Amino acid sequence: MTERAAPPSSPLLDVCDVGKHFGGVYALNGATLAVEAGEVHALIGPNGAGKTTLIHTLSGALRADAGRIRFAGQEVGGRAMHERAALGLARSYQITNVFARLSVLDNVTLAVQARTRDWGTSFRFWRPFARDTAIVEEARALLERVGLGALAGRRAGNLSHGEQRCLEVALALGTRPRLLLLDEPMAGMGPEESARMVELVERLARQVTLLLVEHDMDAVFRLADRISVLVGGRVIASGLPDEIRADAEVRRAYLGDEA
């Protein structure tokens, strides 16, 4: 990779005072967050706290109204979604968002092919894709990694919910991101599927920095190196899992909701 090395002290993702409102309603109100390279950073918060809005704002699906977002030492707040993705900022979707009518393998090859820094541009009008065997091989390897190797030929829309969640992750991984925004990977999963997803995320954590939004607290405290708590559009606490567990404000604002 040919990234410009950021100073060692600066975090991989630096979110500062980000605001986003819809009409008069503030979904984000000065959210500040730092994700260090290599960590699994969990983002928790009650329903309506603005977690998904934050993910949208980070990935570029929405533009922030205020604040700045730095990724790998570059300001990305004004960049389009595809530019951020090309820089290595990938995301998965909370509501499964795969290519339902394409085969599982085609889904992943499209993701791998997107990596122009390794494969060059896709503005190729003549040369058959079939000759790009390396892309297909990598896609197959990726499917093995997420446990979908045997289903490569299936139509993605025909997979079970849990399998589609795994494919969702595989798509995001195909771009070889430096930071992966995982938006509720366990959403709608049964206990068995969840356990498998936790294992998958644990394995992922060794290769890529993760910002994980999740409701399943067992999973969060098992996986996360650090946790940030988003309430009412701002981050009220950020720290090690034990610190968060002990934080009085968090208990009041957040855990109080569940009790």
Partner 1 sequence: MGLYVSSTRRRALAVAALVGLCALPWLAQAAGQGFYVSFASRVLIFALAASSLNLVLGFGGMVSFGHAAFFGAGAYCAALLAGAGVAAAPLVWLAAFGAAGLLALLIGALSLRTRGVYFIMITLAFAQMAYYLVVSLPGWGGDDGLPLSGRAPLFGIDLKDDTAFYYAVLALLAASLFAFDRLAHARFGRVIQGIRENETRMEALGYPVFAYKLSCFALAGAFAGLAGALLASQSGLASPSLLHWMQSGTLLVMVILGGVGSLYGGVLGAVLLLVAEEVLVEITPHWQIGLGLALLAVVLWAPQGVAGLFARRRGDD
Q: Which residues bind partner 1 (CB under 8 A)?
A: 59, 61, 80-83, 85-86, 90-91, 93, 97-103, 106, 109-111, 113-116, 122-130, 132, 154-155, 158, 171, 174-175
Q: Shortest distance, CB of residue 249 to partner 1, whole angstroms?
A: 34
Closest to partner 1 by CB, 82 or 203? 82
Q: Are strands 40-44 and 25-35 parallel, antiparallel or unpaired?
A: unpaired
Structure tokens of 159?
Answer: 């997979």
By the 10 Å C-beta count (0-12 exposed, 13-18 middle, 19+ buried), 73 is classed as middle
Closest to partner 1 by CB, 6 or 86? 86
Q: Shortest distance, CB of residue 156 to partner 1, whole angstroms?
A: 10
Closest to partner 1 by CB, 41 or 91? 91
Contact (Cβ atoms closer than 8 angstroms) between residue 92 and residue 212 = no
Specify which residues 31 forms β-bridges with: 18
Collapsing DSSP to helix, strand or coil, 53 comes out as: helix
Q: Shortest distance, CB of residue 145 to partner 1, whole angstroms?
A: 18
Distance CA 229, CA 14 (A): 16
Provide φ and ψ at 15, rounded to 5°: -105, 125
Q: Quick one: DSSP state of residue 46?
A: -
Closest to partner 1 by CB, 126 or 248? 126
Axis-axis angle for helices 133-145, 161-174 (nearest 10) = 130
Q: Shortest distance, CB of residue 149 to partner 1, whole angstroms?
A: 16
Distance CA 20, CA 122 (A): 34
Closest to partner 1 by CB, 23 or 128? 128
Closest to partner 1 by CB, 96 or 238? 96
Q: Shortest distance, CB of residue 15 to partner 1, whole angstroms?
A: 19
Closest to partner 1 by CB, 85 or 244? 85
Q: Shortest distance, CB of residue 135 to partner 1, whole angstroms?
A: 9
Q: Shortest distance, CB of residue 228 to partner 1, whole angstroms?
A: 23
Q: How many CB atoms lie within 10 A of CB 169?
A: 22
Structure tokens of 37?
Answer: 């390279």
Choose among 189, 190, 15, 8: nearest CA to 89. 15
Provide φ and ψ at 113, rounded to 5°: -60, -25
